[in-house]
Homo-oligomer: A and B are copies of this chain.
């Protein structure tokens, strides 16, 4: 076998790990790396701006299990930092590959363009938002370093960082001969003790419920939780962040639990439960919802990659996977059949009278629910595009994507591109507020370049709507675009502006029927309109942030 270069090895290895598409923007330090990417079996999608490169790779990673963003030094990498921070916060396994100055450039610390403080500045910054990082200063050790970082990304489901000096990427690589991979194991006594206690608690419980959170999906363990629920007749709720990791048509599925933002039937069921089993949960303020969630710790079993807690006490060194498998195998008497407190209901069709009425956010989601087809991917941006979607049921696993914890505006358009690249079968609908669309919506340019066919809905409430409900002022105003003109700018797709419920229904039907074309639908809603969950969340935030309300 001929010796590979560092660049060849890197992209061959990524291909072997399931990467078929990478996202990037080249730059002079990264060009030699991009040439190897171009020669590999991996397709590159060049985006328009680095913040979008990161979100696209994140979206791809959430669907595919691993994603790759390829950029240049500092001006590329640092411009993508927010997207990588999002992936870190929400545990998305993406790899950042950055070009860099040559090893010989770095010898006497000269001022090379793109350099900020020291040559190490970019790597140090990325250390804060990655689980493993390396600068390939030596071709001899490059392969071992590449393998180390990618394994960490896959094991920990967090971003990783590989910086490649441009003179190293063309050098011959040396394959590592022997590797001692660290294998983590549970402490057997602790595991047995935790399982015994959990099994007793579940056995005693009258109304147990499972909350399936996002770590299950990231670590490929969802099936175990689903099997356990089925075996024991225990209902499963998702969270805003994990929505759709359990198929939303699963008979055990009872909806989204998120404190005060929950679907009502689901909220009552969970908060009246005497045994809440939290699998892979991020206990976040969004999870806890507007007003604090009413979960008593003594009634909870919590198992994640980081901790195991039964009631009020914790068990060290119990692996998430071992605990899940142990529970599935445990002898627990199945519960009696339960009545789903929040079954999937087909939304009510529009009445003739309604057709002429102005659209509002709740009707928008009702009509999306009515018209979307089996297998549709739903990608939601921050704000009411997300809050309004809580009750929207998708049909397949992992059909719903959003950055529901990190809540960075501008996520949905580029993440939808990543999701479409990873799942070329289902139709994708991206739902985006007008403020978020002004941030990254222009990435429709890449949709056009790649000939993709999403349905992109802009919910236009004339400004930063969520914030208007917290504290309003002129800072929440944005310039009113003629959004439909973007299709002319890009010479691509069909654009429709709708103001009535009837027009929206007709347009959605047309868009879902026409799978050839990209559709941009501008949905005009009243400036003060919002969904009920958003209203509750904004009210809660306002009571904290607005000094007048805080003191009164």
Contact = CB atoms under 8 A, between A and B. Distances in A.
Contacts of A102: 544
Q: Give how many copies assemble into the complex.
A: 2
Contact of A78 (B50, B74, B82, B470): B82
A15 interface: no
B85 A82 contact: no
A329 interface: no
A512 interface: no
Interface string A137-175: 000000000000000000000000000001100100000
A471 B405 contact: no
A111 B90 CA distance: 11
A110 B283 contact: yes
A479 B81 contact: no
A114 to B, nearest CB: 6
A289 to B, nearest CB: 12
A286 B113 CA distance: 7
Contact of A74 (B37, B85, B483): B85
Interface in A427-481: 438-440, 442, 445-446, 448-449, 464, 466-467, 470-471, 473-481
Given A79-B82, A439-B48, A464-B26, A282 B482 contact: no
Given A31-B470, A438-B442, A446-B479, A81 B541 contact: no
Interface string A204-217: 00000000000000
A410 interface: yes
A312 interface: no
Nearest to A551: B170
A370 interface: no
Interface stretch (A191-199, A247-255, A487-495): A487-495
Contact of A128 (B27, B116, B406, B490): B116
A208 to B, nearest CB: 24
A478 B82 CA distance: 23
Given A46-B474, A489-B489, 13 more contacts: A28-B467, A28-B470, A34-B473, A48-B438, A74-B85, A75-B86, A89-B116, A110-B284, A110-B285, A113-B406, A114-B407, A481-B489, A483-B489
Interface of A: 24, 26-29, 31-32, 34-35, 37-38, 44, 46, 48-51, 74-75, 78-79, 81-82, 85-86, 88-89, 102, 110-117, 121, 124-125, 128-129, 166-167, 170, 282-287, 405-410, 438-440, 442, 445-446, 448-449, 464, 466-467, 470-471, 473-483, 485-486, 488-491, 541, 544-547, 550
18 contacts: A27-B467, A28-B466, A32-B471, A34-B475, A46-B476, A48-B479, A51-B79, A75-B408, A78-B81, A81-B82, A111-B283, A112-B285, A113-B286, A117-B128, A442-B442, A446-B479, A479-B490, A489-B489
